[in-house]
Amino acid sequence: MRHNREFWSKRVAAWLASGLTQAEYCRRHGVAKGTLGYWSSTLKRPRGPATELVQVGQAAVREAKPSPPIELAVGGRYLLRLWAGTDRDHMRQVLSVLEGRQ
Protein backbone atom coordinates (compact mmCIF):
# COMPACT_ATOMS: atom_id res chain seq x y z
CA MET A 1 0.00 0.00 0.00
CA ARG A 2 1.37 3.44 -0.96
CA HIS A 3 1.04 6.35 1.43
CA ASN A 4 1.55 10.06 0.90
CA ARG A 5 3.77 12.67 2.52
CA GLU A 6 1.14 13.55 5.13
CA PHE A 7 0.86 9.92 6.25
CA TRP A 8 4.63 9.57 6.61
CA SER A 9 4.96 12.92 8.33
CA LYS A 10 2.60 11.67 11.05
CA ARG A 11 4.37 8.29 11.20
CA VAL A 12 7.83 9.87 11.56
CA ALA A 13 6.52 12.26 14.24
CA ALA A 14 5.04 9.29 16.12
CA TRP A 15 8.35 7.44 15.95
CA LEU A 16 10.31 10.48 17.21
CA ALA A 17 7.83 11.03 20.04
CA SER A 18 7.96 7.35 21.03
CA GLY A 19 11.54 7.47 22.28
CA LEU A 20 12.14 4.09 20.62
CA THR A 21 14.96 3.32 18.28
CA GLN A 22 13.99 3.29 14.65
CA ALA A 23 14.42 -0.49 14.50
CA GLU A 24 12.27 -1.09 17.59
CA TYR A 25 9.52 1.27 16.44
CA CYS A 26 9.40 -0.41 13.03
CA ARG A 27 9.29 -3.88 14.58
CA ARG A 28 6.42 -2.94 16.90
CA HIS A 29 4.38 -1.17 14.22
CA GLY A 30 5.09 -3.39 11.23
CA VAL A 31 6.88 -0.67 9.28
CA ALA A 32 9.86 -1.27 6.98
CA LYS A 33 12.88 0.35 8.61
CA GLY A 34 14.24 1.50 5.24
CA THR A 35 10.97 3.22 4.38
CA LEU A 36 10.75 5.02 7.72
CA GLY A 37 14.39 6.08 7.36
CA TYR A 38 13.79 7.33 3.84
CA TRP A 39 10.81 9.44 4.90
CA SER A 40 12.57 10.72 7.98
CA SER A 41 15.40 11.98 5.81
CA THR A 42 13.11 13.31 3.08
CA LEU A 43 10.95 15.25 5.50
CA LYS A 44 14.00 17.03 6.96
CA ARG A 45 14.80 18.61 3.60
CA PRO A 46 13.08 21.91 2.90
CA ARG A 47 10.39 21.89 0.24
CA GLY A 48 11.05 24.79 -2.04
CA PRO A 49 9.74 25.78 -5.41
CA ALA A 50 10.84 23.69 -8.36
CA THR A 51 14.05 24.82 -10.00
CA GLU A 52 13.41 27.13 -12.90
CA LEU A 53 15.65 27.03 -15.94
CA VAL A 54 16.43 30.30 -17.70
CA GLN A 55 17.84 30.51 -21.20
CA VAL A 56 21.03 32.57 -21.39
CA GLY A 57 22.19 34.23 -24.58
CA GLN A 58 25.66 33.75 -26.04
CA ALA A 59 26.91 37.20 -24.98
CA ALA A 60 26.07 36.49 -21.34
CA VAL A 61 27.85 33.14 -21.49
CA ARG A 62 31.03 34.77 -22.83
CA GLU A 63 30.96 37.42 -20.09
CA ALA A 64 30.41 34.83 -17.38
CA LYS A 65 33.47 32.79 -18.38
CA PRO A 66 36.40 33.97 -16.23
CA SER A 67 39.77 34.68 -17.77
CA PRO A 68 42.58 32.37 -16.67
CA PRO A 69 44.49 33.43 -13.55
CA ILE A 70 48.00 34.81 -13.43
CA GLU A 71 50.29 32.54 -11.42
CA LEU A 72 52.85 34.14 -9.13
CA ALA A 73 55.60 32.12 -7.45
CA VAL A 74 56.73 33.60 -4.13
CA GLY A 75 60.10 32.58 -2.73
CA GLY A 76 59.89 29.13 -4.30
CA ARG A 77 57.47 28.12 -1.52
CA TYR A 78 54.12 29.53 -2.58
CA LEU A 79 52.17 29.64 -5.80
CA LEU A 80 49.43 32.26 -5.90
CA ARG A 81 46.73 32.32 -8.53
CA LEU A 82 45.40 35.81 -9.16
CA TRP A 83 42.24 36.46 -11.11
CA ALA A 84 41.27 39.71 -12.78
CA GLY A 85 39.81 42.06 -10.20
CA THR A 86 42.00 40.95 -7.29
CA ASP A 87 42.23 43.81 -4.77
CA ARG A 88 45.75 45.30 -4.87
CA ASP A 89 45.89 46.29 -1.20
CA HIS A 90 44.80 42.83 -0.12
CA MET A 91 47.42 41.29 -2.42
CA ARG A 92 50.14 43.53 -0.88
CA GLN A 93 49.14 42.36 2.61
CA VAL A 94 49.27 38.70 1.55
CA LEU A 95 52.71 39.12 -0.07
CA SER A 96 54.00 40.97 2.99
CA VAL A 97 52.98 38.09 5.25
CA LEU A 98 54.43 35.44 2.92
CA GLU A 99 57.73 37.30 2.63
CA GLY A 100 57.93 37.72 6.42
CA ARG A 101 57.69 41.54 6.37
CA GLN A 102 54.64 41.84 8.56
Question: Which pLDDT tens digit goes with each residue over 27-38?
Answer: 999 999 999 988
Domain for residue 59, yes or no? Answer: no
Domain count, the chain: 2
Q: What is the pLDDT of residues 38-80, one digit of tens each?
A: 888 888 876 665 545 555 555 544 555 667 878 777 766 777 7
Domain for residue 60, yes or no? Answer: no
User: Hey, what's the torsion of the CAs at 74, 79, 81, 85, to 10 degrees?
Assistant: -20
Domain for residue 81, yes or no? Answer: yes
Q: Which domain holds residue 9?
A: 5-44
Residues 6+ apart with CB under 8 A from 36: 8, 11, 12, 15, 22, 25, 26
* Size (the chain), residues: 102
CB 12 within 8 A of CB 39: yes
